[in-house]
Structure 1
């Protein structure tokens, strides 16, 4: 069978997390520094644009107010930031308590975690080296 190289995964467009109270979650993510996607508002839904430039479109973190399924509402999102330690201090100054101080991981990133109001784990990281 001939391998198809023209149909490859190119990028991640969006991740959607379910939340129990959309207003509370939007305020939390805005406090973290996420920028809400401009446009029409849809009840129970919010979208935040991450990154992007003239060459690449942004990725989106979406929040959907909905009941949690049989596995609960846990999810993890890893977001790269320009300076892990400075971002950590910024969140602490805003009253957000990270799970631990920035650490160097064996997989080559410096990172720390924050839990959102619904228990989703947000990892803020930067590759080392």
Structure 2
């Protein structure tokens, strides 16, 4: 039986720029740095990894990674303060989460969410 996702690994064409992006959102580095070919960030009990890819390697829309955060609106404000342009504003979804989307500098779609508290 599958227990959990340990990590997700995303390609980047510019490790320095990608590391700066994720650090600006509050991700902490577990391994590597701006000069590494592989960098790993803590994401709760799992990891978000970045792997350097040659410029000729291109990707199209692949899906979305969803991170649960303590405060969706505070992270949205942090992203705006860092100069990023989220593709949505925070909103409550009919499936029971508050979320917003942000595309990283390599075109990977990220969602930051929090389950809504039940009123029952």
Could you say which TM-score interval applies, normalised by the shorter chain?
A: 0.7 to 0.9
Are 1:116 and 2:109 counterparts?
Answer: no
- Give the distance between the partners of 1:95 and 1:26, measured in 2 at CA: 15
Tell me the number of residue pairs that the alignment of Structure 1 and Structure 2 aligns.
115
SS in 2 for 1:10: coil
Give the aligned partner of residue 37 of structure 2. 44
If the length of structure 1 is used for normalisation, what is the TM-score? 0.79
Residue segments in structure 2 that go unaligned for 5+ positions in a row:
none
- Give the distance between the partners of 1:126 and 1:76, measured in 2 at CA: 16
- Give the distance between the partners of 2:96 and 2:87, measured in 1 at CA: 19
**Which deviates the most, 105-114 or 42-51?**
42-51
1:21/1:110 CA distance change after superposition, 3 Å: same
Q: Is the 8 A contact 1:19 1:73 kept in 2?
A: no
Residue segments in structure 1 that go unaligned for 5+ positions in a row:
1-7, 52-57
If the length of structure 2 is used for normalisation, what is the TM-score? 0.85
Query: Which whole-Å deviations, capped at 9, do the CAs of 1:65-116 have from their partners, x for residues lacking one?
Result: 11435x5364421000111112111211222211121011121111001110
Q: Which of 52, 62, 71 pairs up with 1:65?
A: 52
Are 1:80 and 2:68 counterparts?
Answer: yes
Q: Bigger radius of gyration, 1 or 2?
A: 1
